[in-house]
Chains A and B, each alone.
Chain A
Amino acid sequence: MLQMLSGVATTFSISILSFLLGFAIGIFLAFVRVYGSRPFRILIDGYEKVFRGIPELVMMLLFFFGVGFYMRFPFKIAFFSATFALGLRSAANQSQIFRGAIRGIGEEQMVAARSLGLSRLQSIIYVMIPQVFIFSTPGLGSEYALLIKDSSYAFVLPDIWEITVISIYLRKATMDTVTPYIASAFLYILLTFPIATLLDTWGSRKKKQLGL
């Protein structure tokens, strides 16, 4: 069971890191997509289509064996391949979440910010992003849950000890075909549910308070 706990740590770190990677890239893509010029918009649409269109399992194999063949570091390390494979798809998802939020907030906040003399970038950082984040909490909650669950695909990569791999290993070691999987199912729920709910309730409370 102690091995299970180290699996939780691995699953959790892959998910959080890929979530943050997706957040950073996603928010950048969303703002360029909304305010940028046409070629950028087409480019970003293409990025979203490609990364949302490839199955996560294929993506992990592609990163580890494909990209890793040419760039041994960091992609030959399964942990990083999994993180990038999840994070880059998450960027495509989060970009769409944020884009909806930017549209929902509307041009007014931007105009008001610019009227103070803030540059466009400052307006985005100090006025838009905090509100975009609050607006996006429900979507971000489910995106986070998706990452926790899809991190299980990393079981196809060698040398990565996340929850699913460990439950397979325990089944083989103990010949018990039920308990390890039930335990892993339980752990996945434990990892997804509280944080996603927390994010959601915090977001809706904040929205109510700010009248958004």
Chain B
Amino acid sequence: MECRNLWKLYGKITAVKDVSLKISEGEIKLIFGPSGSGKSTLLRCLAMLTTPTKGDVFLREECLTKPGVDLNKARARIGFVFQHIWLFHHLTALGNVELGLRRVLKLPKREAKKRSMQALSEVKMEKWANHYPAQLSGGQQQRVGIARALARNPDIILLDEPTSALDPELIGEVIDTLRDLAKMGTTMLIVSHEMPFAREVADEMIFYDEGAIVERGPPELFFTNPRSERAKTFMMRLIKRTRREQ
């Protein structure tokens, strides 16, 4: 997946400012930066959940920003995990995962169920398949959210701060799940501030502020000596916070 010179304006506010980014198959890239800097908007533009004001988004060879593209088809190939999870309240864990398979991929019921259960077992939630979201903890809900994104075998999964709405003691299980996905070679673009995790799995880290990429490079760069002053102070704060939590 790739975006070229992407812009998103809300009235006079610029949420995404001339961003170009490329994630190749099997790569994991991680975006971090202060809240309100437009990270979520960027992810939503990439998934075409909001239309970018300017610029192009490519999924494999296909340009999604061209008029006349079947966006529903394109979205079916992009997994999306939301910060606030947003499971469908009226469906069980299994129902949440099945919906896309049944109605978008049009799989027969048995096939959809089989693949959903497989996705649920990948996030270790198969025992909870028949529970409603309200009967699950936040961490379990988010794992179902990941299974929902995963079940269609999308080309890429976009994760928008998948752990930041969770209680601290529930973050670990979701991070473990993401680690498993990383091991399986899933292509991912993750917005996250979980630094030890980032250092472990990310092929590239991107520091994002005020709607634009400030600095990018391998994790080691950020953990040893970020070039920009903004990244440096932000990293300091994050590392301090992580230490405090530990």
Contacts and interface: CB of A to CB of B under 8 A. Distances in A.
B72 interface: yes
A105 to B, nearest CB: 8
A211 B103 contact: no
A161 to B, nearest CB: 41
Given A126-B103, A211-B134, A117 B76 contact: yes
A127 B134 CA distance: 16
Contacts, number: 73
Contact of B49 (A114, A118, A127, A210): A114
B148 interface: yes
Interface size class of chain B, counting residues whose CB lies under 8 Å from the partner chain: 20 to 34
Nearest to B47: A115
A59 B149 CA distance: 51
Given A116-B148, A134-B90, A210 B100 contact: no
B222 interface: no
Contact of A210 (B74, B89, B99, B149): B89
B73 A210 contact: no
Contacts of A117: 72-77, 100, 104, 152
B90 A130 contact: yes
B72 A212 contact: no
A118 B82 CA distance: 16
Nearest to B86: A112
Contacts of B88: 109, 112-113, 127, 131
A117 B47 CA distance: 10
A18 B26 CA distance: 57
Contacts of B74: 117
A111 B86 contact: yes
B87 interface: yes
B80 interface: yes
B89 A131 contact: yes
A116 B134 contact: no
Contacts of A127: 88, 90, 99
Interface string B115-138: 000000000000000001111000
A126 B99 contact: yes
Which 3 pairs between the two chains have the least Cβ-Cβ distance? A211-B134, A117-B76, A116-B100
16 contacts: A109-B88, A109-B89, A112-B86, A112-B87, A113-B88, A114-B72, A115-B80, A116-B99, A116-B104, A116-B152, A117-B74, A118-B72, A122-B104, A127-B90, A127-B99, A130-B90
Interface of B: 47, 49, 72-78, 80, 82, 84, 86-90, 99-100, 103-104, 132-135, 148-149, 152
